[in-house]
């Protein structure tokens, strides 16, 4: 059961990171600061999409489910407890999406943890935006940043494919009670929300256009955070966040 193994390993890694942070309150606070800033940055970058139009629901889904500063401890506990049941309860395409979500969560937590350590080491003598850029460059790990974006886009692609699976919406609706009984309520909610969001965008290729917008903007951000002049990069990020440089 490959999906179960990958999910368990991902959740175990997240648990290790959280355990380490529990012994260092200052580190946990730093990681939360990173997450809050990143969620604010995403909301600012996609303000045009979030304000309305065909991409609003997808942008909100990405913000709340993939770029959020939420505490996913409960969802992680569910995933670890019922990883083996995912392949039994859900179709292969759904299990694949669950695996992608678990992998993304583990990679994001690992990168945020590393950023938190650098954030602490830098101290608070510079602006929030400049401190974030400095922490990003200190962590480096460009290949993993690019992989993180690829997984995000793959989850979006999975959601589009799921909306094209005949009868899947009915199947998801029918599975609410058994999924809840099996401890899969969190995954069920994620899938239903994603399915409904992308199904509503099926006409006119709105979903694909939104994913392409994410690919372009996030790729440009990653390149800037690694390659641009450090002062200019901090100034640009501060402007995105609506702050003084």
pLDDT above 90 for 228: yes
- Name the more confident of 95 and 239: 239
Whether the pTM exceeds 0.75: the reply is yes
- Name the more confident of 204 and 235: 235
pLDDT above 80 for 41: yes
Q: Where are the domains of the chain?
A: 2-236
In this predicted structure, what is the pLDDT of residue 98?
A: 79
pLDDT band at 181 (very low <50, low <70, confident <90, very high): low
Mean pLDDT of the chain: 85
pLDDT above 70 for 132: yes
pLDDT above 90 for 133: yes
Q: What is the largest CA-CA distance in the chain?
A: 56
As a whole number of angstroms, the distance between CA 11 and CA 199 comes to 29
pLDDT tens, position by position, 154-177:
988 888 887 777 676 676 676 677
pLDDT above 80 for 185: no
In this predicted structure, what is the pLDDT of residue 77?
A: 67
Average pLDDT estimate for 235-242: 93
């Amino acid at each position: 059961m490959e999906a179960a193994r990958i999910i368990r390993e991902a959740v175990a890694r997240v648990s290790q990171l959280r355990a380490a942070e529990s012994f260092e309150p200052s580190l946990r606070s730093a990681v939360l600061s990173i997450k809050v800033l990143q969620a604010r940055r995403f909301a600012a970058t996609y303000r045009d999409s979030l304000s309305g139009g065909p991409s609003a629901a997808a942008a909100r889904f990405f913000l709340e489910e993939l770029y959020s500063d939420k505490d996913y401890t409960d969802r992680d506990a569910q995933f670890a407890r019922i990883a083996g049941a995912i392949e039994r309860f859900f179709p292969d395409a759904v299990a694949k999406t669950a695996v992608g979500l678990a992998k993304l969560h583990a990679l994001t937590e690992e990168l945020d943890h590393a950023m938190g350590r650098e954030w602490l080491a830098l101290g608070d003598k510079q602006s929030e935006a400049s401190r974030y850029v400095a922490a990003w460059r200190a962590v480096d790990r460009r290949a993993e940043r690019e992989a993180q974006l690829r997984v995000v886009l793959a989850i979006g692609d999975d959601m589009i494919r799921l909306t094209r699976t005949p009868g899947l919406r009915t199947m998801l609706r029918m599975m609410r009670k058994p999924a809840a009984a099996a401890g899969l309520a969190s995954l069920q909610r994620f899938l239903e929300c994603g399915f409904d969001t992308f199904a509503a965008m099926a006409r006119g290729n709105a979903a694909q256009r939104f994913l392409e917008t994410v690919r372009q903007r996030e790729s440009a951000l990653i390149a800037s955070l690694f390659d641009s002049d450090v002062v200019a990069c901090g100034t640009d990020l501060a402007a995105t966040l609506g702050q003084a440089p």
